[in-house]
Amino acid sequence: MFQLLTRVKELEAQGKKITRFEIGDSALGVPPHVIEATKKALDEQKTHYVQSQGIPELREAICELTEKTYGFRPSIDQVMIMPANGIIDAVVRCVANAKEEVILPDPGFPTYGAVLNYTGITGVPYKQYEGKERMYIDPKEIESRISPRTRLVILNSPNNPTGFVATENEVRDVYDIAKKNDVYLLSDEVYSKTIYDGAHYSPAVFDECKERTIILHSFSKAYAMSGWRLGYAIGPVDVIQKMTLLFETIYSCVPPFVQYGGIAALNEHPEYFEHYWDMLKESRDLLVKNLNTLPGVSCLVPAGAIYAFANIMKTGLTSQRFATLMLEQANVSLLPGTNFGKNGEGYVRLCYARTLETIQEGCDKMKAIITDGSIYETI
């Protein structure tokens, strides 16, 4: 992805206007009340070391939110504050060792595979399938991947990059598989606020994160706070203790003023975010509608997250080639599906957390070069 970003910057330096769909970041600014709370914390000199597990005020706010959302209240000792990417790293390191196995989605969030690569832990992928109306998983396939070396299963719903949202039965089946085989289950719920069709189901309700379920949340996507690098995990106390020790050793703590901004995001002005989520649904609908008018391209309506995962197989182009041509000829940046695993071949990912004007502009530029056939002249 970073090679693509370098090329985008080069083209922009040449004066070209690139319509950017590649990065999973929001066009919405950080909420004003979050900025004010952060400023207030700075003015009050809340700038020193705090607990590595996170300040109690934020962890208590998370416990309260969890009770409202999931119907159970975790203990404060089950909660830790940490950047979401760091949580993925910490969970894997704390439940698995080199040469043991983690079962993960493919296509899936690249950090999963990256962590496994540098820790020497073996990744065992399971597919997401494109159905007539939705992406779906096959829990029986996940069960078939279990071995004596398996230590963790990763479920990501809503999913990056596909927008897949697991049904209640799918979630129950995956949890039952983890329980039957006595392995941990990491439920990456970073996009749980951005579900447009249906509901969000979490395996956390089955064991209240006391036995094997670890849930992951981030402020980046739900609250448009990507630069804050703020997330949290809820899990079994023994796992959270190990993760906290690891985080303490490497980072000490999340800056306290950042955490006070997080409290404001959770507790203040919920109407601000409800409006934001409504905007995302409108953006999603516009992007998918346009993608389905492009020759050789089709796209299911993603039920959640902030991405469209478009099928480009009928264009005859590889994912990488399609993405390169869109950037070089249409001045539109998007990501090849292979950035998310080998099963992403034949797809490209576009982030629709953009203005309607930006989405329409990018789609018009793509349609122009696909319709006139110029992308095929360079194959």
Query: What is the 3-state secondary structure of 240-289?
Result: HHHHHHHHHHHCCCCCHHHHHHHHHHHHCCHHHHHHHHHHHHHHHHHHHH
Please check the confidence at residue 274 and state whether its pLDDT lies above 90: no
Q: What is the mean pLDDT of residues 193-198?
A: 92
The stretch 141-164 carries a mean pLDDT of: 98
Q: How many CA atoms lie within 13 A of 52 on its CB side?
A: 13
Range 272-287 average pLDDT: 90
Do residues 234 and 244 make contact, with C-beta atoms less than 8 angstroms apart? Answer: no
pLDDT at res. 169: 98
Mean predicted lDDT score pLDDT of the chain? 95
Least confident of 72-81, 234-243, 261-270: 261-270
Task: State residue 354's pLDDT score.
Answer: 94
Q: Would you list the DSSP string of 136-171?
A: E--HHHHHHH--TTEEEEEEESS-TTT-----HHHH
pLDDT, residue 3, reads 77
Q: What is the pLDDT of residue 42?
A: 98
For position 375, what pLDDT does the model report?
Answer: 72
In angstroms, the CA 293 to CA 254 distance is 45
pLDDT (0 to 100) of residue 197: 87
- Looking only at the bridges linking them, the beta strands covering 19-20 and 135-136 are unpaired
Whether the pLDDT of residue 346 is over 60: the answer is yes
**Closest alpha carbon to 91 in 205, 221, 244:** 244
The arithmetic mean of pLDDT across residues 132-157, rounded, is 98
Q: Which range among 4-18, 122-136, 232-246, 266-280 shows the weakest confidence by mean pLDDT?
A: 266-280
> What's the confidence (pLDDT) of residue 4?
84
Please report how many Cα atoms fall inside a 13 Å half-sphere around the Cα of residue 294, on the Cβ side. 29
Q: What is the pTM of this model?
A: 0.96
Alpha carbons 361 and 254: distance in angstroms, whole number: 39
Question: What domains can be seen in the chain, in order of their start residue?
Answer: 2-30+271-368 (3.90.1150.10), 48-267 (3.40.640.10)
Neighbour-count burial for 236-272, b at 16+ CB within 10 Å, e otherwise: beebbebbbebbeeeeebbbbbbbbbbbbbbeeeeeb
